[in-house]
Structure 1
Amino acid sequence: MQHPAVPDLSHTHTRPIHWVATATALAGVVALSSLLQPDAATAAQTGSHTTAAGPKGAPAPMAPPDPAAVSFPLECGPVKAVVQKQASGDLDGDGRPETVAVVHCDAPMGTPPDGVYVITRNADNGKPRVVATLVDPKERRTATVLAVRDGAVHATLLGYSSADVPSCCPDVTDDVKWQWKNGTFVSDTPSQARTV
């Protein structure tokens, strides 16, 4: 007698008791999983009393200051100041983020020079304010890159080798880094200025 290539599957026919057993098992798994849910995820889990704000009694993380809520020290005449770029991070090591903003006047023609400003929050009322000018618009610079990394501000600035160079065509590029040291921002240029 030769056995068929396909095994006999007559024992696999389902009966109502199979469906009842499957439904009961599935209901048990669902009920058990709802009882064994993990605690809500939190940003910082230290100690046994953790809340969504962090360890018991710790304040919630503060949002970086919003540059739109600040008046910048720019003379723009009839046009307004525009925030072109921004980056945030803790620059002075106090656990609260600062915002660095690249701002210029919204001129209808040409490329207006940028100012680079550091914004923090007042300790007493939490309102944002400008605390440092890293690049003054009078320097005729344009920031093409802005980042906050490792507690320092990094920027790529376009500029001019002399007053004779036309405003349309910056001919110098600087990669600049500012870091908070001894109560002030100190500029450190990692690479030499290079011509464009």
Structure 2
Amino acid sequence: MQHPAVPELAHTTTRPIHWLATATAVSAVVAVSSFLQPGAATAAQPGPRSADTRTTAAAPDPAAVHFPLQCGPAKVLVVKKATGDLDGDGSPETVAVVRCDAGSGTPPSGVYVLTRSHEAHAGPRIVATLVDPKNRLTADDVAVRDGAVTATLLGYSSPAVPSCCPDTTDKAKWQWKGAAFVRSTPAEARSI
């Protein structure tokens, strides 16, 4: 019995031109797919942005501000800074604790609130003085939490107390109310 002859099919025999055509087609598909990317997924994203997810600008840099301290030959020193949104506008403010870089004693602190200027090329500016250095207080533990500034203020019970050794302690809290920062005593300082 003779088997029927199977004709040779052209597409079953590979030649180099077939491999070249296949490689070119695959390369074209890969190249086109790299340009056609899917859009951002939106199914899991919430609707309108909340205040927590807004894009905010960088907090003002205290190094770019001229503080109103009279330090004589000593330099002005930023000893602490804290940042946060104090007025609820979505942009952070900076609270800077500043003093003269004195060699001895406990120089008084100034506590200032800085904001970014609305002008394109202007630097940050001071919008509030929370503690004036003329009051002879030293600000410690300064922080921004929940839209408020808190601090421990070290002072003197009389002018006879040496400047090295503050002998009074006061807790303070400032919060933006309408058009100004209002000082109060933090709740944890009142509870004993």
Say whether the fold is shared (TM-score over 0.5): yes
The CA RMSD over aligned residues, in Å, is 2.5
Q: Which amino acid aligns with 1:170?
A: P
Q: Residue in 2 aligned with 1:95?
A: 90
Deviates more, 1:155-164 or 1:183-192: 183-192
Q: Residue in 2 aligned with 1:72?
A: 67
Look up the SS of the partner of 1:116 in the other structure: strand
Q: Which amino acid aligns with 1:90?
A: D
Q: Does 1:155 align with 2:151?
A: yes
Q: Residue in 2 aligned with 1:179?
A: 175
Q: Percent identity?
A: 66
Look up the SS of the partner of 2:158 in the other structure: coil
User: What displacement does 1:109 show?
Assistant: 2.0
Q: Residue in 2 aligned with 1:26?
A: none
Which of 182, 185, 188 does residue 189 from structure 1 map onto? 185
After TM superposition, which residue ranges in structure 1, 4 or more long, deviate above 2 angstroms?
45-48, 124-127
Look up the SS of the partner of 2:97 in the other structure: strand
Aligned length: 144
Q: Does 1:62 align with 2:62?
A: no
> For 2:61 and 2:117, how far apart are their aligned partners in 1?
13
1:28-39 aligned within 5 A: none
The superposition leaves residues 18-60 of structure 1 with CA deviations (integer Å, 9 ceiling, x where unpaired) of xxxxxxxxxxxxxxxxxxxxx989xxx5459x9xxx7xxx7x4
User: What displacement does 1:182 show?
Assistant: 1.7
Q: Would you say the 8 A contact 2:175–2:183 is kept in 1?
A: yes
Q: Residue in 2 aligned with 1:137?
A: 133
Question: For structure 2, which runs of at least 5 residues remain unmatched after alignment?
Answer: 1-38
Q: Which amino acid aligns with 2:139?
A: A
> For 1:46 and 1:174, how far apart are their aligned partners in 2?
44
Residues 40 and 165 (structure 1), Cα distance of their counterparts in 2 relative to 1, 3 Å cut:
farther
Q: Which amino acid aligns with 1:182?
A: G
TM-score by length of 2: 0.68
Q: Would you say the 8 A contact 2:106–2:165 is kept in 1?
A: no
The superposition leaves residues 67-95 of structure 1 with CA deviations (integer Å, 9 ceiling, x where unpaired) of 01101011111121110011000001111
> For 2:166 and 2:76, how far apart are their aligned partners in 1?
22
1:7-86 aligned within 5 A: 45-47=45-47, 60-86=55-81
User: What displacement does 1:127 show?
Assistant: 2.2
User: What displacement does 1:161 show?
Assistant: 1.4
> For 1:98 and 1:148, how far apart are their aligned partners in 2?
10
> Higher relative CO (CA 8 A, sep ≥ 6), structure 1 or 2?
2
Question: For structure 1, which runs of at least 5 residues remain unmatched after alignment?
Answer: 1-38
